[in-house]
Amino acid sequence: MMSSLTGALYGVLVVYLGGWFAGAWNGNFSLLLFILTTVTLAYWLAERFHFRPARAAAAANLERQDAARRAELARLGIDKVDGDVQEARQKLLMQPWWLDWTAGLFPVILIVFLLRSFLFEPFKIPSGSMVPTLMVGDLILVNKYHYGIRLPVINKKVADNNPVQRGDVVVFRYPPEPWVDYIKRVVAVPGDEVAYLNQKLAINGQPVPTAAKGEQLDDETITYSPVFAEKLGEAEHLIRVDPRRLGGYGPFPKSFPHAQNCRYVPEGVTCKVPPGHYFVMGDNRDNSMDSRFWGFVPDQNLVGKAFFVWMNFGNLSRIGAFK
């Protein structure tokens, strides 16, 4: 029965992963990992307190029966007895496949679950919205505890750590579709008035310092675009701006939460960031769907702070920390 049940559970897992990979539905890896941890824990506890003791008792009973048989034969004067129960004993003690592939995997799955939920989570850059800081195909690490400790799956913060700073690169749950993760740079924090007009960023009425850094090839358009060093907070980072794409912002439909805090004009947008929210933008300023278009990021949507490229299979020189 347990063998059939385990086979059915693995079948459900294969169907779920197959549909997720094929795009039939949106998967939730955090929820999946939580379920796998819970299920394998149940098998591990059953193995620890029921199945393994039962196998050990059966093996001990076999040895007792063999010892009794040999003692009876010795009493009858028969000293040479054929047969060795050790092989049968090892078979009785052997863990069946359905426990090996459930209870046996629990410690590994638990470690992955704890590391991913509370320490570091890997993330793959899916688009060019963060060029030139992050490239398509970069595999990055996200610090899950930098802004505080959150419960897995429900993402509820239970302890604070560092506050979010202007200039931080953050991964968050995309507000219109919370099951999708996005990555952008925080440009304004609660209480700030942020303006992006004529491709110029200003915070609380003060222009954000920028310095020209030449041009960079845009792989999508196969043209060169100007690159600038921008200083938000303490760290300086690069942004890409294409002057040929100036303007064309508004007015936009006021459909997102706190949309009344934003004023749209053809030159751009000005917003007052509400409490508990952040205004985020991509470093590829003219090729990024960000807060200018869909609104603010609530604090409860934050996943963590992105800080390190651990692999890019197409360009190993990308490996390292970034600002």
Distances in Å between the Cα of 297 and the Cα atoms of 30, 147, 170, 187, 303 are 20, 14, 10, 11, 11
pLDDT at residue number 254: 67
In the numeric block, which tokens belong to residue 62? 């076999």
The residues near 118 (Cβ < 8 Å, ≥ 6 apart) are 144, 145, 149, 152
The pLDDT of residue 214: 87
Q: Does domain 125-321 have CATH number 2.10.109.10?
A: yes
**What pTM was computed for the model?**
0.84
5-34 pLDDT per residue, tens? 998 998 999 998 888 888 888 888 889 999
What phi and psi values does residue 322 have, to the nearest 5 degrees?
-140, 165
Residues of the chain scoring pLDDT < 50: none
pLDDT on residue 306: 96
Q: Give the Cα separation of 167 and 188 in Å (integer).
A: 8
Identify whether 251 is preceded by a cis peptide bond (ω within 30 of 0).
yes
Q: What is the pLDDT of residue 21?
A: 83
Q: Token pair for residue 237?
A: 């980072």
Q: What is the per-residue pLDDT across 113-153, written as a single tens digit (0 to 9) for each? A: 999 999 999 999 988 899 999 999 899 999 999 999 999 88
The answer to whether 30 touches 180, Cβ cutoff 8 Å, is no
Residue 228: the pLDDT is 94
Percentage of the chain modeled with pLDDT above 90: 63
Alpha-carbon gap, residue 70 to 66, rounded angstroms = 6
Q: Are 227 and 265 within 8 A, CB to CB?
A: no
Give the residue numbers annotated as catalytic, written as ranges.
129, 184
Per-residue 3-state assignment (H helix, E strand, C coil) for 231-283: EECCEEEEEECCHHHCCCCCCCCCCCCCHHHEEEECCEEEEECCCCEEEEECC
Indicate the residue type of 122.
P
For the chain, the domains span 2-113, 125-321
